[in-house]
Structure 1
Amino acid sequence: MSQTLEQPDTSPGPQPTDPRPSARRTPGSVRERQVSDFTALTARVQQAGLMRRAYGYYWSKLIGLTAAGLGLAVAFVLIGNTWWQVITAVALALLMTQIAFLGHDAAHRQIFVSGKWNEWVSLVVVNLFTGMGLGWWNRKHNKHHAAPNKTGADPDLESGVLAFTPDAAAARRTRLGRWLATKQGYFFYPLLLLEGVNLHVQGIKRVLSRGEVKRRWVELAFISVRVLSYFALVFLVLSPGKAVVFVAVQLAVFGLYMGLSFAPNHIGMPLVPPTTKIDFLRRQVLMSRNITGGRWVDTFMGGLNFQVEHHLFPSMARPNLRRVAPLVRAHCEQLGVRYTETSMAQSFRAVTAYINRVGRGGLDVWACPLAAQYRV
């Protein structure tokens, strides 16, 4: 499998029929119109030059974050064996998350025209700099982009400690499990403190698995160098007790930060039944949520706050997402397609309410949005 994220299939599936005689169309004409909806938007985006690369932006990010990492390592050694290193651990977690955002961009081919350049940058950034596994993440993220919030297809909906779908909640067999499901929205955020460990473990498991893994030995070598050098430095500079606290704080803040950046994008947006097929534009827009708040939010979330635009144009350079958003918003308004954007606080409240509602069994799987648009 390619190490770069693929453009999801844009072919529309069967569409509902308009019950109004004045608005009846043949299935072919409906599909053609829906394909042209995205084609027209793409033409406007191309004409505005918003698919151009942002080499200056990304080179400054790559060089600047690498230099910041080296500087933080030097500061860590100079500060020495003290509890003040907890602050260093938090700083490292924030830095690692920003670096991981660059790996995400490279995997989406947002940085360079060359696929190989993007692939190697993502390998270096994700595996060597952050110690995670690129192959595992790519495989999972490809499926998500192809079918966001579609039950049975989007791996981000898979049941684990939390239930994200009614079926997953109904599958809880024990009384304690069912009770915890009704309150799961409240311990969702504390659980994110463990997400940093999970991301590292899943990446390593994928590299060591028996299945086919492209550049397995490169990934394994990069992860090994990163993990071994990280623990060696921490335990050489700090006493064992302080070293354990340092690692725990760094991984906890890293997991929380990653979770806070990805969770608001789709959780609480409509679920799509397995048999429902929707054209590409509506598939990506209706199941995604943008986060407002200005450029500090752009930086904090690594551009993921423009989730609608990112799903429509996965290879668009991050700085252009803010510029293309007004075009996408206006295009959706013209088509009558709901375009969702909320503040960060509102999105977190929506995530909590949604997860609790799923756990209580009070959620219906969403009906096809096109049916509502064609209904009188």
Structure 2
Amino acid sequence: MSSVLDRETGLDIEIVREKAEAYGIRLLKLLPAELIQMFHVLRLELPASLLGFHIWDTPSPPGIEDCEFYGRVTSSMQFKTTDLRSVTGLTFFFSFSKLYAIHAHTHARPYASKAFDRLPAKRQESVVWIYLPMPRDEEITAIAMRLKVEGGGATTQKPFFMIRTKLAGDVYIGPCHLRQHRDIVLSQSSPELLIHNVADVGPATVFGTYPRKQQRDSLPPFNNRWPNMDPLLHLMFEHMYLSVAPLKDVTGIRVLEDENFECKGMIFDYSNGAQRALGDCRFGHYRAKTYLSPRRLCYCHVQPTPAIMRGVHVEIGSESDHAHSGDDWKCSEMKGNIEFWFSKEHSVIVCGLPPS
């Protein structure tokens, strides 16, 4: 609320009420509130009977009763909305398996750097960028979350999103929970808005969609098991994230590399117009190499010690016959699945797996 009011001084209550309503604070119009001005800061003092109100980032927010939420919605909460109908992609900012922000890519805002810059400096040191492409004609048709079960209940502190799209199919975003988990369906009817709460310093713990529509009898299930993860990976890296993509029908690959030429992420283009992203995709921060009509994907893990895989080098080729200078390279034809396991410091590829 202060972000709206602290720039306005010398205003009467009706003007402030109108401004607040424009920022999505509907209830203020009805409140017997008082304005307190001190030290050039304007503060709104609410009646003792009011526990709080909801603050939205849109001038025409939906009613709470029209949204599908999971998590504890309190009487005083700030919500961030993402219009899924106008985005070219989404970047999810995770730190230690918790979600702190979502950037909506548009033609006017193609990079997520400003959203990253708004995070606290310490948070920036540990965050990963997980990208969901939304190319032309793509549409999100369903959203579910796989949540870790703690104390008999599902916790939203570490959400693993399962997003079903019209072109790409099922896409996974977030940290993996190897132990007991529960799947929660947020929407199975092409949601218009993705909603999450905003905290001053903490992660998002409330997630929702709009509109709340009559659910169909059954949603074709997402994969009810984790992909083919070697349990050793989870022992090596405490906060692991997962990207999965089929290698069949790939027409182009963009490889994102850091200053050590290690692959941090990849974006696959498919013949049907779909796109999939793997790994830590920091557009504008990593250099990008583009490969067309790939026929093979080769990778070599960077291992400071035999037991630790820090990163991975990737080589894409449009020819099948090739050779590598070392013996540590693994080569895959463009069939089966690729799994990209990663954390802030580590990247591991498992390639050539059969489709799940």
Q: What TM-score range do you get, normalising by the shorter chain? A: under 0.3
Which protein is richer in helix relative to its size?
A: 1
Report the TM-score, using the length of structure 1 for normalisation.
Answer: 0.26
Per the normalisation by structure 2, the TM-score is: 0.27
Q: Relative to total residues, which structure has the larger strand share, 1 or 2? A: 2
